[in-house]
Structure 1
Amino acid sequence: MLTYETIKKLCKEKGVTVTKAEKDLGFAKGSLCKLNTNKPSLEKVQKLADYFGVSVNFFTDSDSSSNIGTYYHDNETAQMAQEIFENKELRLLFSAARDASPEDLKTTHDMLMALKRKERGYNDDTGA
């Protein structure tokens, strides 16, 4: 459940104050502390999820506060997610991929794999 305590913990993990998060998100000052009494709109919940790098479902899970810091099932995935979050170019790729068609995603994947093979000196499509 989305609570002020959950937001405070997420802010602490992100290294920002609640006031800074409100400002970054364009929310009114003090609006996040009212989460325990006022149900936020889906748009506001989506903005919070995007800002903190979690899913909307994270906030609807009744045990979400205990999941903070252990959102991912393994350390490799958590590290990869953190690297994406911290890298502007990688975030842009993932943001663009949200709206891409399956065909565009396949084309992009094929192009990236071809670049990877080229970088490694492979000449054919087998990767050998």
Structure 2
Amino acid sequence: MSLTYRIKELADKKKVTFAEIERNTGISNGQIRRWDTSSPKIENIQKVADYFDVSTDYLLGRSEIPTITDVTQEENLSSQIMFRMNTDGLSENEVDELKDEVDRFLRFRRSEIERERELKQDDKA
């Protein structure tokens, strides 16, 4: 999926035009359409990503997940899992080790899921 196609999808959802995006982000008039045939400046990609509140990886087609993973979300999930686990009888150090292990597992599984999505996308192309 091309960069401009991804931006077009986001623009359609937000009901804005490329011209409006360019005006609101300070990008030169007509630049986004030219990104199909020329390389955009990194700062312009970042401006568009910020405008839509998505990651640059999502815009560039490197990820199917629009938003940047918020570390605090993973920590909250980890804390919720820990809360539901019975940690009675464990020392504070052992609970911390267990929490770290849960965090590592969640990050690993997320990366595996993202890689599986990318493989599926490659198979469809």
Tell which structure's C-alpha radius of gyration is larger. 2
Task: Give the TM-score normalised by structure 2.
Answer: 0.47
Task: Give the TM-score normalised by structure 1.
Answer: 0.46
